[in-house]
Amino acid sequence: MDSRQRIKEEFTYYLSNIARSSRRTDKGFNLQPTAVQSFLAFLEVDRLFDYKPEIWKHIKSMYDITVPNEVENIADTLLNDEEFAKHDNDKNQRWRSGSIIHYVCFIKARSYFMNEITNVNTPYDDGKKDGLEEKEVIAKPSSSLQQIFYGAPGTGKSYEINDLTKAYSTIRTTFHPDSDYSTFVGAYKPTMEETPVYGVQGFEVAKEKRITYAFVKQAFLKAYLGAWQKYANGNETAEPQFLVIEEINRGNCAQIFGDLFQLLDRSDNGFSTYPIEADSDLQNEIKKAFAEGGEYAIENGLDVDDAVDGYTSNYGETLSDDIKNGRVLLLPNNLYIWATMNTSDQSLFPIDSAFKRRWDWRYVKIADAGKGWKIRCGNEYCDWWKFVEEINKRIAKETSSDDKKLGYFFCKPPKDSSEISEEKFVGKVLFYLWNDVFKDGDISLFKVSDEPEAEICFDAFYGSDNKVNIEAIRTFLVGIVGEENIKTNDDTFITVDENGNAIDYTKYSFDGKSRLSKKDLGYSIVMKYISEHSDKTFAELQSELAFDDTVDNKYRYKGVLARTEEITGSYTSCFGAEQTSSDGVKYKVLTWWNEYNIDFIIKFAKVQGWAVNTVTE
């Protein structure tokens, strides 16, 4: 298991010997020692997160986090946070953003090249010592074993968990008011089973289905058994097992967890501090599952006798034997229990302070996901994110809290569109605002009639034919976002791809060519510049075509120009044919131009005095 000190030493080496500065010195492009020390200092959590320490308190050290997508998620959250950006720029020379960007690059490179030499059962002739073989390490998530992702509805809590756990075995369940211990752990239930029917001679003459009782495993037990099976196969390098609980506060946690509550206390080694006794039904089911030929058979044995300090068995056995035979329950250090909680539902089943203390809490803030979604209003539309921003200001004023605010994903358009229909907007968004936020407070924003004496009511958003009232929706939107933000639809309205991301099909003309896509336009501009400056070295071309701060990091890819040897993996599809610079460097030109980076290259073309025009039908 990686220690903080080891990761820090590796990162220090990376900064000192591998990372490059954009400015050349007498020592080449290596970072200066003072810069290395500054990057290290600003990666410490007390400086990296000092702009808003309360939401990052679950991270004790960045060197604990060595899984690439976790580090990238942290970096994306920071770099997209206006408060962080302002703090980073204000007399801090952007050391914070620089440190986290360098750390992302380091962790991704480290993950790619990291292999472990481990003993295997079947050696082969690989030129190494007998019984040794290289195997790829499945990196453990460095986040908390137990954490609750909380925030306003629609902020993407479930999406974030899914993104972090997609590489691992995951079992999901959703709590609700009728959830209890038996639906979370397991219980005997009636099931249909095919049984033989015997004739008078005592021979089987037929089969028929009869109701029998069998123990049915539920989410917790499946995750528990799966985690121990994985631990037995890998010990400290065991593959993680996730149990994800959606809407944890919609169920009565004390009733659902029962005595499992005790297991949530984890020691520094990640195992439960206090094992508990299993009842006879659960004991029999666990023993059967772990036995040879069982559904979760532990074939390599189990050795965790040192996991609990001072453990004394009530059965005269070792801790490993008691776990394998189902006598005691103990959470292994590869079992992660993560949950989501909508703050707007927190009063449904209040979570007591003792239960809260056993979890780390991770706030998921409201942010623009950049999907380009619109609210349709007849032949007009309103930008969805603009509406979310403005209505959340009203909600904050009305409720004096963030609990009832809307997240970006509170309301989604159909998969093949970026438009939220009028019916969906009224039925989901306005209905929520009316019933859950403003009904007992200031409802003046729902006044959509010109008549002074007209009653303010939700009915106003529907006509006599029970269809949505477009004019009422428009009046409401104008009251929230202003007339200037109600725009007319045209033939170039944005649609979306299979991931729900906005696609802008605008066409361009450039250098005698017409109807160029963004991809073709960007590539044509760069190739024209290269052709007209064929005497320049690769370094000169790369510097002159380098993205500026108007382009988000995630849309810079490997740069406008990148050396051929640096373009690997998924990046190979983002670049065109190989070119050769005047100084003999083999490189390729970016073809992955889109709505997020195209403005940069259009501006570059105009600086050269070249005309770029939008093509209209």
Q: What is the pLDDT of residues 72-104, one digit of tens each?
A: 889 888 888 888 888 887 655 688 888 999 999
Q: What is the pLDDT of residues 169-180, one digit of tens each?
A: 999 999 999 999
| pTM (2 d.p.) | 0.57
- Point out the least confidently predicted range of 447-451, 535-539, 569-573: 569-573
CA distance 36 to 21: 11
50 is written with which tokens? 């000092």
Q: What pLDDT was estimated at residue 261?
A: 92
CA distance 398 to 384: 21
CA distance 573 to 576: 8
Strand 20-25 to 132-136 pairing: unpaired
Q: What pLDDT was estimated at residue 233?
A: 84
200 is written with which tokens? 């008078």
Q: Is residue 141 scored above 70 in pLDDT?
A: no
Q: Is residue 314 scored above 50 in pLDDT?
A: yes
Q: What pLDDT was estimated at residue 477?
A: 95
Per DSSP, the three-state class of 10 is helix
Q: What is the pLDDT of residues 227-244, one digit of tens each?
A: 999 999 876 678 899 999
Per DSSP, the three-state class of 207 is strand
CA distance 129 to 121: 13
- Point out the least confidently predicted range of 161-165, 317-321, 473-477: 161-165
**Cβ(374)–Cβ(419) below 8 Å:** yes
548-554 mean pLDDT: 82
Question: Over the chain, what is the mean pLDDT?
Answer: 85
CA distance 478 to 209: 64
566-587 mean pLDDT: 84
Q: What pLDDT was estimated at residue 602?
A: 95
274-281 mean pLDDT: 93
Q: What pLDDT was estimated at residue 542?
A: 94
CA 131 from chain centre, in angstroms, equals 39
Domain-by-domain residue ranges, the chain? 4-136, 146-362, 374-496, 506-615
Q: Which residues lie closer than 8 Å to 242 by C-beta, 6 or more apart?
A: 165, 168, 169, 170, 171, 223, 336, 337, 338
**Cβ(413)–Cβ(385) below 8 Å:** no
Q: What is the pLDDT of residues 589-605, one digit of tens each?
A: 998 888 889 999 999 99
Q: What pLDDT was estimated at residue 573?
A: 67
